[in-house]
């Protein structure tokens, strides 16, 4: 409760103060700056969705600002409509074009994505310049601020409109980003493969996030047009884009307050540069801060030397340069770049990220209390293990060029059983798992779950069909907590539609989801670590969490890809116990494993692969004595007298 009061209270106080400003400030210049603050606030909240939550360097946001501004301008000047339709149109153009750009661009990662968005920006500037009949080209486009609902907008009224929109955007985004959607955005930044495998639909979420961010860019553009009442294509170029990135990074990613702080910095920058004294004071403070942080980092050995010293050098250049340069305005790009450099290197979490930790300590803000775990029987109902065929694989083949990784595999997994899949390295186990789970498309053959053919070549659709898997190389969402990792995958709880989520009407659902997630954490013995980030868990705990996350899919079939790999002995025993518990609940499991003792202890049935083909099948005891298995593992036919002796252990 204290937490809610503090957080909401801070928002209310800030917005309340901002709303009252026009009552006692009559200076039109100051009011203009505050109006810009609101507009940039909306713009940066939009940019933060891609840069912060999706973790991609998005260089197209400035284009959406421009396109939104021109859309609003044209709706008013050419169509003669009012402000409300103009703003709606600007929002719609951002959403639509953002979605269109995202469709191809978001199949890309990192540098390619940055390049694609950069090209889109350049293309949009070209179009605004060259479509002279529509936009007036380089001459620019003048427009008037039309009345809204019959009310002429004086500067204070327009300011209130912008602030009100910022408050609305703030509230909606807060609800959205704290919901299943926001978590999915963050999850797919950490591991797109895992989000697909958890049935979240990586691509769909990415496109939605990008379209949403761009829509906010468009809306901000509409307000921008009515604020300046004059538009030029060259206002929306690379330079402004850099400044916007500066705002998001400096303010702090993944934070509404960060966007707000960033917007304030952007608005104040020009004044900072034109006033010599202010600039020197500011750069001096920056230098002192960088020096203090750097020395502390070096002393405590929490940062690398470069990370500690580079910001000091950059801020030092800023201070010394400021003394010699005749006109700081001429050097504004260099000044931006030095500031941005210092922040990116020295303060990767941004000002708000830094402040948030500090304030949380100061006010002792507790985490919202967690609900009691749900009953595990409700989360994962006991299923009858009737031994009927569950997964039927028929003559499955997967070739990579000339390599026959899987060459004609036919096997049946029975309902309620643990089916082991073993074989020496390179025998094709992992390929089989990747084909079943949809990462690879089979070259030939079919896979059916309960008689229904599984979709091929799509992790997402296979996951939707009821198959969940873990990964040999862990694919956890490192920046999310253990509980959030499970929430992302949780099936069957989140039913609310997007508008409900946006207006914060889905909180009851969130509590139920948390209760279920805690039940699963209890099952694997990690309930007390629910709020620990996955990347900070011990290696063993991470392996357990992967299983709990897959279980959150409430799957018909669970595929465990080497769940004991790299585990110390005590952890391995715990892992075996966890798998047995899951088995007792009637979940059918395919287990890929190297440790023969794990296989012997757990499996009802074992299939042994070598060279992409089955060489043996049966109970663990039968398989261990099978001459071909011994040969595959030890490389020679067994001595006759060894038959019936102790089981050979694989290396």
Partner 1 sequence: MNAAIIGQMAISGALMGLVYALIAYGFQLTYATSKSINFGQGELVMVSAFFSLTLTNLGLSQHWGLGLSYGLMVPGGLIFGAIMGLVVERAGVRLALEQKSEGWILLSIILGLFFFSAAENIWGRDDRPFPTPIPEEPFHVLGLAIGPREVAVAVGVLGIMGLIELLKRKTLLGKAFEAVSADRDAAELMGISATRTVMLSYGLSGSVAALAGILVSPITTVGPTMASAIILKAFSVAVVAGLDSGFGVVLVGMFLGALESLASFYLGSGWREAPGLVLLILALALRPTGVFGKATIRKV
Query: Can you tell me which residue has the tokens 């775990």?
Result: 373
CB of residue 468 to partner 1, shortest distance in Å: 14
Query: Does 307 sit near partner 1 (CB under 8 A)?
Result: yes
Q: Which two tokens stand for residue 97?
A: 């074009």
Q: In this complex, which beta carbon is closest to partner 1, that of residue 108 or of residue 355? A: 108
Are the C-beta atoms of residues 241 and 62 closer than 8 Å to each other? yes
Smallest distance from partner 1 to CB 125, Å:
9
- CB 79 → partner 1: shortest distance, Å? 26
Task: Select the residue interacting with partner 1 from 230, 306, 503, 539 (CB under 8 A).
Answer: 306
* Position 110 contacts partner 1 (CB under 8 A): yes
Residue whose CB is less far from partner 1, 122 or 376: 122
Our finding on whether 458 is near partner 1 (CB under 8 A) is: no
Question: Does residue 178 belong to the site contacting partner 1 (CB under 8 A)?
Answer: no
Closer to partner 1 by CB, 109 or 622: give it: 109
Q: How far is the CB of 51 from partner 1 (least distance, A)?
A: 9
Number of helices (H), then strands (E), belonging to the chain: the values are: 27, 12
Torsion angles phi and psi, residue 414, rounded to 5: -95, 150
Q: Which stretch binds partner 1 (CB under 8 A): 102-110, 140-148, 215-223, 506-514?
A: 102-110
Map the footprint of partner 1 across residues 410-439, applying CB under 8 A. Answer: 434, 439
CA-to-CA distance for 74 and 90, rounded, in angstroms?
Answer: 10
Interface pattern 129-168 for partner 1 (x via CB under 8 A): xx--------------------------------------
Site for partner 1 in 248-277 (CB under 8 A): 249
In the Cβ-directed half-sphere of 533, how many Cα atoms lie within 13 Å? Answer: 9
Q: Which is nearer to partner 1, 237 or 464 (CB)?
A: 237
Site residue total, partner 1 (CB under 8 A): 52
Pick the closer one to partner 1 by CB: 6 or 344: 344
How far lies 23's CA from each of 29, 30, 152, 478, in Å? 15, 13, 18, 47
**Long-range contacts of residues 23-28, Cβ cutoff 8 Å, at least 24 apart:** 28/155
The yes or no reply on residue 242 touching partner 1 (CB under 8 A) is: yes
Q: What is the phi/psi pair of residue 559, to 5°?
A: -105, 120
Residue 632 burial by CB count (10 A; 0-12/13-18/19+): exposed, middle or buried?
buried
Scanning 119-127, 537-545, 586-594, 621-629 for contacts with partner 1 by CB under 8 A, the matching segment is: 119-127
Instruction: Sketch the per residue contact string, 28 through 67, with partner 1: x for CB under 8 A, - otherwise.
Output: ---------------------------x-x----------
Q: How far apart are CA 284 and CA 350, in angstroms?
A: 19
Residues 312-341 that bind partner 1 (CB under 8 A): 325, 330-338, 340-341
Do β-strands 444-449 and 389-400 pair in parallel, antiparallel, or remain unpaired? antiparallel
User: CA neighbours within 13 Å on the CB side: how many for 163?
Assistant: 22
| 3 state DSSP class of 558 | strand
With contact defined as beta carbons under 8 Å apart, do 534 and 480 qualify? yes
Residues 6+ apart with CB under 8 A from 623: 422, 606, 608, 616, 617, 629
Q: Which of 302, 284, 283 is nearest to 293 (CA)?
A: 302
Q: With left for phi above 0 and alpha for psi between -120 and 50, is residue 201 left, alpha or beta? A: left
CB of 110 to partner 1, least distance (A): 5
Point out which residues bind partner 1 (CB under 8 A). Answer: 55, 57, 103-105, 107-108, 110-112, 114-116, 118-120, 122-123, 126, 129-130, 193, 238, 242, 245, 249, 304, 306-307, 310, 325, 330-338, 340-341, 344-345, 348, 400, 434, 439, 471-473, 475
């Amino acid at each position: 409760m204290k937490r809610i009061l503090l957080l909401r209270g801070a928002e209310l106080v800030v917005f309340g103060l901002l709303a009252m400003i026009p009552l006692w400030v009559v200076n039109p210049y100051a009011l203009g700056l505050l109006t810009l603050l609101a507009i940039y606030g909306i713009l940066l909240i939009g940019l933060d969705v891609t840069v912060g939550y999706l973790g991609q360097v998005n260089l197209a946001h400035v284009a959406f600002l421009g396109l939104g501004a021109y859309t609003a301008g044209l709706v008013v000047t050419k169509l003669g409509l009012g402000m409300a339709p103009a703003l709606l149109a600007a929002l719609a153009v951002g959403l639509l074009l953002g979605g269109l750009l995202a469709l191809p661009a978001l199949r890309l990662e990192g540098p390619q994505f940055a390049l694609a968005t950069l090209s889109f920006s350049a293309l949009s500037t070209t179009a605004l310049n060259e479509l002279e009949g529509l936009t007036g080209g380089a001459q620019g486009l003048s427009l008037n601020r039309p009345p809204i609902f019959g009310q002429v907008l004086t500067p204070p009224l327009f300011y209130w409109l912008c602030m009100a929109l910022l408050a609305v955007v703030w509230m909606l985004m807060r609800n959205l980003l704290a919901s299943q959607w926001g978590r999915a955005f963050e999850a797919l930044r950490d591991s797109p493969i895992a989000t697909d495998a958890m049935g979240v639909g990586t691509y769909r979420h990415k496109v939605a996030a990008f379209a949403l961010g761009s829509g906010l860019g468009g809306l901000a553009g509409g307000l921008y047009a009515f604020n300046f009442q004059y538009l030029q294509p060259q206002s929306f170029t690379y330079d402004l884009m850099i400044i916007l990135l500066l705002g998001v990074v400096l303010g702090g990613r993944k934070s509404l307050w960060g966007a707000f702080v960033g917007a304030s910095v952007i608005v104040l920058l020009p004044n900072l540069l034109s006033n010599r004294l202010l600039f020197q004071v500011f750069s001096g403070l920056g230098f002192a801060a960088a020096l203090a942080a750097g020395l502390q980092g070096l002393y405590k050995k929490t940062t690398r030397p470069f990370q500690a010293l580079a910001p000091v050098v950059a801020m030092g250049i800023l201070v010394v340069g400021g003394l010699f340069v005749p006109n700081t305005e001429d050097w504004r790009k260099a000044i931006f770049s030095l500031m941005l450099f210092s922040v990116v290197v020295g303060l990767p979490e941004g000002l708000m990220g830094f402040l948030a930790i500090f304030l949380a300590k100061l006010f002792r803000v507790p985490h919202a209390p967690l609900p009691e775990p749900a009953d595990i029987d409700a989360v994962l109902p006991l299923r009858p293990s009737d031994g009927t065929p569950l997964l039927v694989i028929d003559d499955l083949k997967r070739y990579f060029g000339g390599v026959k990784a899987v060459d004609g595999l036919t096997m049946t997994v029975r309902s309620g059983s643990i089916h082991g899949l073993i074989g020496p390295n390179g025998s094709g186990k992992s390929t089989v798992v990747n084909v079943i789970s949809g990462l690879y498309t089979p070259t030939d053959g079919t896979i059916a779950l309960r008689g229904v053919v599984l979709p091929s070549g799509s992790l997402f659709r296979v996951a939707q069909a009821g198959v969940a898997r873990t990964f040999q190389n862990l694919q956890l969402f490192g920046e999310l907590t253990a509980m959030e990792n499970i929430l992302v995958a949780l099936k069957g709880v989140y039913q609310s539609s997007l508008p409900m989520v946006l207006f914060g009407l889905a909180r009851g659902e969130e509590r139920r989801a948390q209760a279920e997630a805690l039940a699963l954490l209890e099952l694997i013995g990690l309930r007390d670590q629910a709020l620990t980030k996955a990347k900070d868990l011990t290696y063993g705990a991470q392996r357990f969490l992967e299983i709990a996350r897959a279980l959150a899919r409430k799957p018909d079939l669970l595929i465990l890809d080497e769940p004991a790999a790299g585990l110390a002995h005590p952890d391995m025993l715990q892992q075996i116990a966890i798998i047995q518990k899951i088995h007792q609940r009637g979940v059918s499991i395919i287990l890929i494993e190297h440790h023969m003792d794990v296989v012997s202890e757990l499996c009802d049935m074992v299939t042994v692969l070598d060279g992409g083909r089955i060489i043996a099948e049966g109970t663990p005891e039968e398989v261990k004595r099978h001459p071909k298995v011994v040969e595959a593992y030890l490389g020679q036919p067994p001595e006759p007298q060894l038959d019936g002796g102790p089981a050979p252990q694989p290396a």
